[in-house]
Structure 1
Amino acid sequence: MSNYLIIGIIAGLCTALLNLSGYVGGMFGLGIILIILSPLPLMIASLGWGSFTGLIAVVSSGVALSLLISPLAGLLFMVVNSVPPWWLARLATLSQTNTETGETIWYPMDRLLMWIASIACITSVAMFIPFGFSLDQYRDTISVMMNQVYEAQQLSLPEGTALTIDDIVSMITWMAPMASVLMVTFSSVVNLYLAGKVVQKSGKLQRPWPNLHQLTLSPVAVFIFLVGLALMFILSGLPQILAQIVATAFGTAVLLVGLSVLHYLTRQSPARLVILWTTYFLLAIFQWIGIVLIFLGGAEIFFNVRSRMPRGPLRPTDQDKDEGNGQS
């Protein structure tokens, strides 16, 4: 019992300090990496030592920030940043036994991805709570912050530019919720995958851990994405931003399925790493790459593209991975 308690406390402290260090170091470069990876210790504790240990990590992370900053900051961090990854890790360890065959059935990964998209929506919508869900108050707060930054740094917009402070505020008002959704979604997926791999290497992972090329999703996610996308062009004001949050969250989930299909289709290619890294690099720069991947993900969800492709011989590394996971 004491070991579980110690591991939970250490994991919670690591999660809190990684997040705090990221914000102190700035939201760019190493800082953003620390923030994204901050749930990793908590997820490792939950997957390897059980959901109770993970719950201890959740509480200790909140207590740590309560002591370092304020009780309100600790409570908000615990609810928004610690509970969601703990819940995802708990779901990942859920299972039931088939009474006829005795086979263990684990919580499906496609439902986990649905949960990730839903959590990204909820946490991003929650950012409007301090503003009373008032778009004007939200925009005014951003405007005040931008003016303070420009005054403190003695900055000014270049002469001849068509941009104004109001234009920049409008851009941030529109893009900040989308950036929040993307960060939560990718952070959840990356940390859950890495935590599973780390715990698997330690021999403490109970469930077989799927490879990247095995990710799938329910068709419901595509319909939610399309509805959110349509409402973005119909609504205005705060409802439009909320529709954007929904469309971004579930569109990102479908995009991840598209990336999974790409991982599968390139398994036999000697240029696999080049193709994958080039795709990830271009995805960070050109948005149209994301649209292509969303179409690919949608095609997989509805038409099962992977099953229609010839499997062919596996590369030795992929074969070892599949055998290690007990999958063909």
Structure 2
Amino acid sequence: MVQLWLIAFGAGAASALLVATVASGSAIALPLFYLAPLPILIVGLGWSQVAALVAGSAAAVALALAFGLELMLAYVAGVGLPAYVLAYLALMARQDAPDGPLVWFPVGRIVLAAAVLGCLAVAALIPLVAGSIEDYQAALRTLFQAMLSADPATPADADTARLIDLLVTVMPPAAALITMVTQIGNLWIAAHVARMSGRLMRPWPDLAAITVPQGTVALLAGAFIGASLSSGFIGLVCELLGATLVMALAFIGLATLHWITRGAGGRTLVLGTVWIAALALGWPFALLAVLGAIETLFGIRRRFRRGGTGGPPAANEA
């Protein structure tokens, strides 16, 4: 038990240090900040969700003592709490019969949970920046004007003003997306670390077979409708949720491509091209989300028998 506490406190210290690098202002600070959930997830998957909770709490307390309450709240909302929830869900299982196998929480629903957590993280941080959506947008506009204008006191020209308006609109959904994707990426890395060390408590899933409930598509449509009809905080939350749900369906689209190309010639070239194009350009994720929505509603993968047999072991899948 003492060893568990020491490991958890060590992971919390590592996570807090990764967040604290932002204060240095160095070029490597931002990538290190995005790795802040990793220690929490490693101890969560390798030891227990209790260790993840202790690690996240220790990191939050350390940041509060060193940098104040605001950074602690930002850490809890954007790093610590999502990491703990994802570790908890990854280790959740049920046993339908006394002697039956464990049925683990589906990976697709973990992705869906990450989408919701990414939305809630950004929504929870808005009150730390401003008291209203209008004040929040004004603060973003002031920040971008200071970044893009040679003289912040001088009004921006028409082109710069349009760019600033675009950035103010895009920034909150982009922040929710980044929170979601970094949490999922860190979860994947942590699971690999735990598996290589022999401490991963659940079997490695077939990532090409992940699914989300059909209601996800309806929820996405509702988020888009809510964003178009609502204003203020409700409208912004709908925008955040819509952005993260699009990414969740894009992951289903990627899984579908991995499934249907199993055993096909040129598979590596096709998948490599899709991944590189999506990461480099961004907009292919929207097409992948459409594919993911079609798969979720109609089950494309069921039509490809080679996806179920003859493919590589699940642990070899990306």
Q: Quickly name the TM-score band, shorter chain normalised.
A: 0.7 to 0.9
Residues of 2 paired with 1:180 and 1:268: CA distance? 37
Structure 1 runs, 4 residues or longer, greater than 6 Å off: none
**Is residue 109–residue 211 contact of structure 2 (8 Å, CA) maintained in 1?**
no
Out of 160, 169, 180, the position equivalent to 2:164 is 169
Aligned to 2:21: 21
Correspondence for 1:6: 6
**Cα distance in 1 for residues equivalent to 2:277 and 2:177:** 16
1:139 aligns with 2:134: no
1:208 and 1:290 map into 2 onto residues whose CA distance is 28
TM-score (norm 1): 0.85
1:21 corresponds to which letter in structure 2? T
Cα gap change, 1:139/1:320 in structure 2, threshold over 3 Å: closer, same or farther? closer
For residue 89 of structure 1, the aligned residue among 87, 90, 99 is 87
How far, CA to CA, are the matches of 1:78 and 1:235 in structure 2? Answer: 28
From the superposition, tell whether residues 38 and 293 of structure 1 become closer, same or farther in structure 2 (CA, over 3 Å).
same
Q: CA RMSD in A?
A: 2.8
Tell me, what secondary structure is at the counterpart of 2:305? coil
C-alpha deviation, 1:82, in angstroms: 0.4
Deviations 1:269-324 (A, max 9, x none): 45333322321222234454222211211122122211211317646xx23737x9
Identity %: 25
Distance 1:288 1:70, change over 3 A: closer
The one-letter code of the counterpart of 2:85 is W
SS in 1 for 2:258: helix
**1:156, CA displacement in angstroms?**
10
Give runs of aligned pairs for residues 248-263 of structure 1, distance below 5 A.
248-263=243-258
Alpha-carbon contact 1:23-1:35 (below 8 Å) kept: no
Residue 221 (structure 2) pairs with residue 226 (structure 1): yes
SS at match of 2:306: coil
Give the partner amino acid of 1:319: P
Which deviations, in whole Å up to 9, do the C-alpha atoms of 1:56-108 show, x marking residues without a partner?
A: 21122112212331244224313432011111101211222222552212122
Shift of 1:130: 2.7
Where do 1:228-243 residues align within 5 Å? Answer: 228-243=223-238
Match of 1:208 in 2: 203
Kept in 2, the 8 Å contact 1:12–1:41? The answer is yes
Report the equivalent of 1:51.
49
SS across alignment from 1:275: helix
Q: Give, as a single letter, the amino acid of the residue that structure 2 aligns with 1:129.
A: P
2:300 paired residue number: 305
Greater relative contact order (CA < 8 Å, ≥ 6 in sequence): 2
The 8 Å contact of residues 47 and 93 in structure 1, kept in 2 or not, is answered as yes
Offset, 1:260 = 0.9
**What CA deviation, in whole Å up to 9, does each residue of 1:191-238 have, x standing for no partner?**
112211211111111211213312211111111111112233333454
Matched with 1:116 is 114
Gaps of 5+ in 2: none
Tell me if structure 2 keeps the 8 A contact 1:222–1:251.
no
Instruction: Give the distance between the partners of 1:208 and 1:17, measured in 2 at CA.
Output: 31
Give the length in aligned residue pairs.
315
| Structure 1 residues 271 and 116: CA distance shift in structure 2, 3 A | same
Alignment of 1:185-204 (within 5 A): 185-204=180-199
1:36 matches 2:8: no
Q: Is contact 2:177–2:243 with CA below 8 Å preserved after alignment?
A: yes
Distance between the aligned counterparts of 1:267 and 1:118, measured in 2? Answer: 31
Distance 2:139 2:236 in 1: 16
Taking structure 2 as the reference length, the TM-score comes to 0.88
5 Å-filtered alignment, 1:93-112, equals 93-99=91-97, 101-112=99-110
